[in-house]
Structure 1
Amino acid sequence: MEEQKYFFDTKEEEKIINFIQKLNLDKGKKGQKIKLLDFQKKILTELLCWKNMDGGSRRYREGFIFLPRKNGKSFLIACIFVYSLFCDEEYGAEYIIAANSREQAGHLYDTVKNMIETNPTLRKHCRIIDSRKKIVRKATNSFLQVLSSDASKADGFNGHIICLDETHEAKNDDLYSKLKTSMGTRTQPLMLTITTASNGQDEFNLEYRTYLYAQKVNSGEVDDPTFYSAIYQADDDCDLVDESQWYKSNPALGIFRNYDELKSLAYRAKAMPQEEAKFRRLYLNQHIILSTEQGINMNKWKLCGEKPFDMEMLKGRECYAGLDLASSKDFAAFVMVFHIDGEYFVVPHLFKPSADLVDAQNRDGFDYVTHSKAGHMHATEGDNISYRYIRQKINEFAREYVIKDIAFDRFGSAGIIADLQEQGLYVVDFGQGYRTMSPAIEKFYDVLFEGKLRHPNNPVLNWMAGNAKVTENAAGDLKWDKGKAGKKIDGIVAMTMALSMAIDDNYKLDLNKFSDSDALDKLGW
C-alpha cells in the first residue's frame, strides 16, 4: 500500500549527489571537493527523494538524525540547506537554523556559508549578511537565517526547512513546537532535529521523546509515513571493545572519524570503569546517565516502585515525616515513611499553586496539569502555595497515621511549624547542609541498593528523583543539589529527612536489654 502512495525519484537522487559533490569541504585541504559517503547518500536521498504519487511533493515532513559525536551531523544538514536553497522551486522559502544557543547554531551557519562562498556560481546568486547570520537568494525571495534559542522571538516565521541542533540539551520543547506549527501553510515542509543521546531518564526531553517516537514508527506500533529517522547507536550492554559496535554507531569510522582515537577511548573505558558511562553515551550513542548528572540510580529506583502496596495497610501505623516548604509559587512536599517488616514505605504528598501550573509547566517542561488532575500532586487554590491547605492535610494524615516526628527545613517554615506544634505534633529541625544531609543520603542509598525501599511509583516523585544530583565537599560529604537548571527535588528532600529518622528509630538500642558494659560496647565506646 505504501509503495502505491510514494515513489523514489531517481532523477532527484542523481541531481542531489552531483550538486553536493561540486561543493567544497569546509575543513581539510583547501578547495577539496565533497565526496559523499554511503551513509550520507542514504540519509540525504531518503529524506529528499521519496515523494508522494499525488503531486510529487516530498513524503517526509520530519526527520530525526541520531548520530554520536564527530560523525558529521551538521555537515549533512548543511548539504540539505544549500541544495534546497538553490534547487527547490519554493518561492519565499524560509530556512531556519536554531539551537540551544545562537553560538551553537552559528557553527551550522558557518558550514552553509562556506559551501556557498567557495562556489563562485552559488556565491553570485545570493547575498550573505554576516552581521545578521542571514543568507538571501534573490531569484526566489528566499532566505536562510540563524534564530535565537528564545522561543518568544520565533513568531512570524513560515518555515520551509527548519533544523534544531543538539535537541538533547533543549530545556523544553517551546521553540520546537512554535517553529513546527509555523510550517502549516507549506506544501512540503521539513522539520529536522539532529542530536546525540541524552541520559534517557526524562520522558519530556525533546531528544528522548523523539527517539521513542521514532522507535514506535520503525516497529510499526505507530503509523506515520511522514516521519523519517536515521538512528546510529550500539546495542545495549555491548562489549566496549567490540569493533562491530563501534562501526554500527559510528558510520564515518575509519574515514573522517578517527579509528585510533575511538579505539584508545574504548580500551581506556574498559580499563577504567568510571569512564564507561561517558564512552557509551558520547561515542556509542547510548542513553546512559553520567556520574555528574544523577544523584539517584534510576534503575534501582524503578525496581523499588514495581511492587504496589495497599495504602489501607498503613492506617494506624507509626511513621516519620519530612516537610520541605516552598517559596510562594514553588513546590512544597510532605512525605511520610513507614517501617514495616524490614522495608520502608514512602507516601508522598506534593503541593503547588493551581494558578501557576501552566506557566510552571512551560518553564519546567513537566506536565503539571495532567498530573494534578490525576491526583499525583495537590494543586492548591490561588497564585501562591497555601500553607493553610498543607496544614489541614497534615492534620488529616495525623488522624489516619501515628506521626511520631516531622523533620523540617527551617527555610520558610516558622509559621506553619508553630501551628503544627500547637496542634500537638512533634517537629524536628533538619539542616540541609553537608553535616546533616550526608548521613541521611547514605542511609537512603543503603536501603535503595538493598531493595528495601517501597515507593508508590508516583510520576511526579519519579521525575524529582531523576532531577536530583549530589554535590560533594572536600571531606567527601554529600548533599542534594538541583543542578544549574534548578530542577525540582522537593519530594526527594522531604523523603530523605523522613527516611533518615525512620531508619534511626529502627536501629535504636534498647539499653535495658544489656548490661552497662554491653551497652557501651554496642555504642562503640
Structure 2
Amino acid sequence: MSAPYLLTPVSDEDIARGDGSQFVNFSESFLRVTKDSVGGDSGTLLRFRPWQSCLFCRLLARRADGRYKHRQALIGMPRKNGKSAVGAALAIYGLVSGPKGGEVYSIAADKEQARIVFGTAKKMIEMAPEMANSFNVYRDAIELPATGSVYRVLSAEAFTKEGLNPHLTIADEVHAQPTRELWDVMSLASGARVEPMMVGITTAGVKSDSSGGDSLCYGMYQYGEKIIRGEIEDPAFYFEWWGAPEGADHNDPAVWAAANPGYNDIVSEEDFKSSVLRTPEAEYRTKRLNQWVSTAQAWLPAGAWDDCETGGTIPDGAEVVLGFDGSFTNDSTALVVVSCPAGEDDKPLIDVVAAWEKPTDASNGWSVDIFSVEDEIRKACRRWQVREIVCDPFRWARTYQILESEGLPIVEFPQSPSRMVPATQRFYEAVMNKTVAHSGDPRLARHLSNCVLRTDSRGSRLSKDAKGSPRKIDLAVSAVMALERACQEPEVAPVPQFFSWADL
C-alpha cells in the first residue's frame, strides 16, 4: 500500500483510542455506493480500502483525556479518488454520533459545489432502508429528530453564516475558496462546541488567490509542511496530502501510481493514459497529481489547430449553433458557427461568420456597428437551421431582447468559471483528439494563437497573454462557447430554416 506524500504524526495510542474503527464499521454496515463506478456498483455497501481506513483512524484519533485530537484537518488527494463519498460518509457519521442539537455543514466556494458532498450523503441515506425512516430529508437539509441535529449545505457568502454553531464542517475543494473568510467564520462559530472539527477535502490549485497573496488552501498546505518539519507545534491540526513531489514527470505511470491512492482501483489506469494526452499540463498536474501551479500556460500546442483543418464549409440548411462574443468600443466582436454532429462519427465543423475588429488607424472612439452585427445574425439564421445563438449577456441585452422577440433562439452563456472551465476543456480535447474540424479561417487561427490558459482557484480557462493586451481572443471564446452547446442537448427549439422575416 502506498503512503501519503505528506503526513502529520499521530501516535498509535491516540489512534487506538479514536473512533476510526467505529466509523468504518458504521459506514460499511449502512452506507452504499450511490453510482456505478470503477470502485463499485451502485447500491452495494461501501467497502473502504486500507488506505481510507487508515486515514480515518488517524483523523478521528483521541487524546488521553478522551477528546478528539484534531480540530482542523486538510486532506488533499487527486480527483476521482473518492473524495465525495469520503466527505458524505463523514458528514452522516457526524450527524448520527455527534452531540444533541448538533450542526453539520457542507461548505464550498459555491453552493453547487457544496451540494456534491451533501447530495451524495442524501442519496446514501435514501438508499439505506435501516436509516431512511430516522431522518427528515429536505432539499438543503437533513434532520435527525431523535437528537435534534441537522446537516445543511452552505455556499461561500460568509457574511450570512454568523450565528451558526457547527460541531462538524466538511469543506469541499478548499483550493477554490476565493478568500479565507468563510473558513474563519465557520471556525470561530464552532468555538462553543466541546469537540468541534473542520475537515477540508481538496485537490491542489494555484498558489495565489485573487488578491495575489497565498490562497487559503496553499497557506494551510504550507502550515502542514511546517508542522511536519518541526517548525510549528500544533497537534490539533491534521494534514494528509497525497500527490507527487515538485518536478516529478507528469507522463510517468509510476508517478501516477504514487500520487493516487486509488490508482488502478477506484480510478482506472486507462483513464490516466488517455487524459494525459488531452489535458493541459497545468490542469493535469493539479487534478491528477495534486501539485500546486502558479503560471499561465500556452493553450493549444503548436500545430494542433492546423492539424484539424479540412478547408470545408458548413452547407446551407445544416443544423448549427452560433457563438457570439460582443464588445462596443476598442475591442473586437465575433460571430462563429459550429455544425451540430449528426452522429458519433460526425465531426463538428467550426467556421467564422463575421468579425468586427478595431482598425489599426481608428481613434479610441471607434465602436462596433450594432445594426451590422444584428443583420449578420439574421442572415446566418436564414442560411442555416440555427439551434441556438449562444452569447454572453454582458452589455448586449438590448440586441438579445430584439432578436429573441423576433423568434430567434437566444441562449445566455455567461462567461463564468462554472461555464468556461468545462467548455475550455471540451474544446482542447476535441482539438487534441482531432474530433473537430475547421475551415482554416486565419482570423480564428490568430485569435486562438493569442490565448493562454490561465489557472486559478476555479480551474483553467482562456485568457489574453496579459491584462490590457491588444491581442484579441473573441473568436476563440465564441468558438469555445458554440462547440460546447453544439455537443449538448438544445435548450430552445431551433428557428425554422429559410423563414420569412415578414412572418415573425
On whether the aligned pair clears a TM of 0.5, the verdict is yes
Q: 1:118 aligns with which of 103, 127, 142?
A: 127
Any idea what SS the aligned residue of 1:187 has?
A: coil
Q: Is 1:249–1:284's contact at 8 Å kept on the other side of the alignment?
A: yes
Alpha carbons of 1:172 and 1:24: their partners in 2 closer, same or farther (altered >3 Å)?
Answer: same
Correspondence 1:107 to 2:107: no
**1:494-521 deviation per Cα after TM superposition (whole angstroms, max 9, x unaligned):** 9x99xxxxxxxxxxxxxxxxxxxxxxxx
Q: 1:176 aligns with which of 178, 183, 191?
A: 183
Any idea what SS the aligned residue of 2:78 has?
A: coil
The corresponding residue for 2:57 is 45
Give how far 1:152 is off: 1.5
Give how far 1:212 is off: 0.8
Q: 2:292 aligns with which of 287, 292, 298?
A: 287
The corresponding residue for 1:79 is 89
Residue 91 of structure 1 aligns with an amino acid whose one-letter code is K
Any idea what SS the aligned residue of 1:64 has?
A: strand
The corresponding residue for 1:36 is 48
Q: Is 1:61–1:226's contact at 8 Å kept on the other side of the alignment?
A: yes
Correspondence 1:24 to 2:36: no
Q: Where in structure 2 are there 5+ consecutive unaligned residues?
A: 1-8, 300-362, 367-442, 458-465, 471-504
Total equivalences in the alignment: 308
Give how far 1:8 is off: 2.5
Mean alpha-carbon deviation: is it higher for 204-213 or for 12-21? 12-21
Distance 1:87 1:262 in 2: 38
The corresponding residue for 1:322 is none
Any idea what SS the aligned residue of 1:51 has?
A: coil
The corresponding residue for 2:252 is 242
Distance 2:243 2:274 in 1: 19
Give how far 1:119 is off: 1.4
Distance 1:59 1:146 in 2: 26
Q: 2:214 aligns with which of 170, 191, 204?
A: 204
Give how far 1:142 is off: 0.6
Q: 1:188 aligns with which of 189, 195, 209?
A: 195
The corresponding residue for 1:128 is 137
Alpha carbons of 1:262 and 1:186: their partners in 2 closer, same or farther (altered >3 Å)?
Answer: same
Q: Is 2:296–2:452's contact at 8 Å kept on the other side of the alignment?
A: no
Give how far 1:100 is off: 1.3
Distance 1:85 1:178 in 2: 21
Any idea what SS the aligned residue of 1:25 has?
A: coil
The corresponding residue for 1:213 is 223
For the pair shown, the structure with the greater C-alpha radius of gyration is 1
The corresponding residue for 1:137 is 144
Alpha carbons of 1:73 and 1:293: their partners in 2 closer, same or farther (altered >3 Å)?
Answer: farther
Give how far 1:12 is off: 3.3
Q: Is 1:94–1:158's contact at 8 Å kept on the other side of the alignment?
A: yes
Residue 187 of structure 2 aligns with an amino acid whose one-letter code is K
Any idea what SS the aligned residue of 1:34 has?
A: coil
**1:53-112 deviation per Cα after TM superposition (whole angstroms, max 9, x unaligned):** 12x110000010111111111211111111121123x11110011111111111111111
Distance 1:293 1:106 in 2: 33
Give how far 1:223 is off: 0.5
Alpha carbons of 1:484 and 1:161: their partners in 2 closer, same or farther (altered >3 Å)?
Answer: closer
Alpha carbons of 1:184 and 1:215: their partners in 2 closer, same or farther (altered >3 Å)?
Answer: same
Give how far 1:200 is off: 2.1
Q: Is 2:33–2:46's contact at 8 Å kept on the other side of the alignment?
A: yes
Distance 1:19 1:240 in 2: 38
Q: Is 1:278–1:290's contact at 8 Å kept on the other side of the alignment?
A: no
Distance 2:141 2:54 in 1: 29
Q: Is 2:296–2:453's contact at 8 Å kept on the other side of the alignment?
A: no
Any idea what SS the aligned residue of 1:8 has?
A: helix
**1:410-451 deviation per Cα after TM superposition (whole angstroms, max 9, x unaligned):** xxxxxxxxxxxxxxxxxxxx9899xxxxxxxxxxxxxxxxxx
Any idea what SS the aligned residue of 1:57 has?
A: coil
Q: Is 1:59–1:225's contact at 8 Å kept on the other side of the alignment?
A: yes
Q: Is 2:75–2:199's contact at 8 Å kept on the other side of the alignment?
A: yes
Give how far 1:257 is off: 0.6
Alpha carbons of 1:235 and 1:98: their partners in 2 closer, same or farther (altered >3 Å)?
Answer: same
The corresponding residue for 1:420 is none
Distance 1:244 1:148 in 2: 38
**1:104-159 deviation per Cα after TM superposition (whole angstroms, max 9, x unaligned):** 111111111111111122212221112xx101111211100011321121111001
Correspondence 1:225 to 2:235: yes
Q: 1:167 aligns with which of 148, 164, 174?
A: 174
**1:198-240 deviation per Cα after TM superposition (whole angstroms, max 9, x unaligned):** 1224543111111111111122111000000110111221223
Any idea what SS the aligned residue of 1:79 has?
A: helix
Residue 280 of structure 2 aligns with an amino acid whose one-letter code is E
Any idea what SS the aligned residue of 2:280 has?
A: helix
**Structure with the greater relative contact order (CA < 8 A, sep ≥ 6): 1 or 2?**
2
**1:271-297 deviation per Cα after TM superposition (whole angstroms, max 9, x unaligned):** xxx833332222111112464699xxx
Distance 1:68 1:241 in 2: 15
Distance 1:484 1:216 in 2: 24
Matches within 5 A, 1:247-266: 247-266=257-276
Q: Is 2:135–2:145's contact at 8 Å kept on the other side of the alignment?
A: yes
Give how far 1:484 is off: 10
Alpha carbons of 1:432 and 1:177: their partners in 2 closer, same or farther (altered >3 Å)?
Answer: farther
Give how far 1:47 is off: 1.0
Q: Is 2:171–2:200's contact at 8 Å kept on the other side of the alignment?
A: yes
Residue 161 of structure 1 aligns with an amino acid whose one-letter code is L
Matches within 5 A, 1:344-363: none
Q: Is 1:65–1:73's contact at 8 Å kept on the other side of the alignment?
A: no
Give how far 1:480 is off: 11
Alpha carbons of 1:287 and 1:5: their partners in 2 closer, same or farther (altered >3 Å)?
Answer: closer
Residue 255 of structure 2 aligns with an amino acid whose one-letter code is Q
Q: Where in structure 1 are there 5+ consecutive unaligned residues?
A: 295-429, 434-471, 486-491, 498-525
Any idea what SS the aligned residue of 1:104 has?
A: helix
Distance 2:35 2:284 in 1: 25
Residue 167 of structure 2 aligns with an amino acid whose one-letter code is H
Higher fraction of helix: 1
Correspondence 1:93 to 2:98: no
Q: Is 1:6–1:59's contact at 8 Å kept on the other side of the alignment?
A: no
Provide TM-score, normalisation by structure 2.
0.55
Give how far 1:26 is off: 0.9
Distance 1:286 1:484 in 2: 13
Q: Is 1:24–1:119's contact at 8 Å kept on the other side of the alignment?
A: yes
**1:26-46 deviation per Cα after TM superposition (whole angstroms, max 9, x unaligned):** 112342111101121111121
Any idea what SS the aligned residue of 1:288 has?
A: coil
Q: Is 1:44–1:76's contact at 8 Å kept on the other side of the alignment?
A: no
Alpha carbons of 1:261 and 1:493: their partners in 2 closer, same or farther (altered >3 Å)?
Answer: closer
Distance 2:127 2:154 in 1: 24
Alpha carbons of 1:80 and 1:244: their partners in 2 closer, same or farther (altered >3 Å)?
Answer: same
Any idea what SS the aligned residue of 1:108 has?
A: helix
Alpha carbons of 1:144 and 1:493: their partners in 2 closer, same or farther (altered >3 Å)?
Answer: closer
Residue 24 of structure 1 aligns with an amino acid whose one-letter code is R
The corresponding residue for 1:60 is 70
